[in-house]
Chain A
Amino acid sequence: NAGVTQTPKFRVLKTGQSMTLLCAQDMNHEYMYWYRQDPGMGLRLIHYSVGEGTTAKGEVPDGYNVSRLKKQNFLLGLESAAPSQTSVYFCASSYGVPLEAFFGQGTRLTVV
């Protein structure tokens, strides 16, 4: 049972480049979340989804887009990367409320 898988695990982008982070879960979870983790800031919610075909903005959505075309996948896109988007990105999923969320291993993204 893989749980929550994020790809890639590491990436270096140049300013202005685009990329997509993929999150896949095999637990049939309804809820999925994307966070970024920065020193001293904790985990901040970027976007989330409460089911296939739905997305909603979190605390820091600017500069990111998401899609949930399939229940098991939640994609996070950066259309034009900026150095301020250098961070560790975590995906999480949850079966429903109030059960706990399961996290992926994280993606370390550096924008130069």
Chain B
Amino acid sequence: AQKITQTQPGMFVQEKEAVTLDCTYDTSDQSYGLFWYKQPSSGEMIFLIYQGSYDEQNATEGRYSLNFQKARKSANLVISASQLGDSAMYFCAMRDPIYGGATNKLIFGTGTLLAVQP
């Protein structure tokens, strides 16, 4: 069964430093997609970055990058040059499979609460 694991309930980082949020996943499918979402205190879900299982290069979106290690089934989010506005809950998610198939579930981990300190 598909599963997403985020082992860090909370993290602190100093402003302007980089931080890595961990995510591991479990799936038996060969094609899948990995996503990261941000949820600020206001509650909305904001899409940050996507990585497909067949993508050879790590995805990047501005200050966000996804450290994709397929053999280890990990998809860590790296935020460079942290800002106070990055303080939020971060969720890792997986869609399995991404091409064809009958399930197309989109499942989430339990989240990591990031606090950026000035």
* Assembly CA distance A43 to B98 (angstroms): 20
The yes or no answer to B104 lying at the interface (CB within 8 A) is yes
A45-B105, A103-B44, A105-B43 given; A97·B95 CB < 8 A: yes
Among A15-23, A64-72, A87-95, which stretch is in contact with chain B?
A87-95
- Nearest Cβ on chain A to B96's Cβ, whole angstroms: 10
**Does B108 contact A35, Cβ atoms closer than 8 Å?**
yes
A42-B111, A90-B45, A106-B43 given; A101·B91 CB < 8 A: no
Chain B residues with CB under 8 Å of A50's CB are: 102, 104
The yes or no answer to B107 lying at the interface (CB within 8 A) is yes
Q: Count the A-B residue pairs with Cβ separation under 8 angstroms: how many?
A: 61
The yes or no answer to B110 lying at the interface (CB within 8 A) is yes
Chain A residues with CB under 8 Å of B33's CB are: 97-98
* Assembly CA distance A59 to B106 (angstroms): 10
**Can you list, as one digit per residue, whether each of B7-46 has a CB less than 8 Å from chain A (1) or not (0)?**
0010000000000000000000000010100000001110
- Nearest Cβ on chain B to A67's Cβ, whole angstroms: 18
- Nearest Cβ on chain B to A74's Cβ, whole angstroms: 14
**Does A101 contact B110, Cβ atoms closer than 8 Å?**
no
The yes or no answer to A77 lying at the interface (CB within 8 A) is no
User: Of A40, A45, A103, A105, which one neighbours B110 at CB under 8 angstroms?
Assistant: A40
Chain B residues packing against A (C-beta within 8 Å): 6, 9, 33, 35, 43-45, 47, 50, 52, 91, 93, 95, 97-99, 102-111
Chain A residues packing against B (C-beta within 8 Å): 31, 33, 35, 40-45, 48, 50, 56, 58-59, 88, 90, 92, 94, 97-103, 105-106
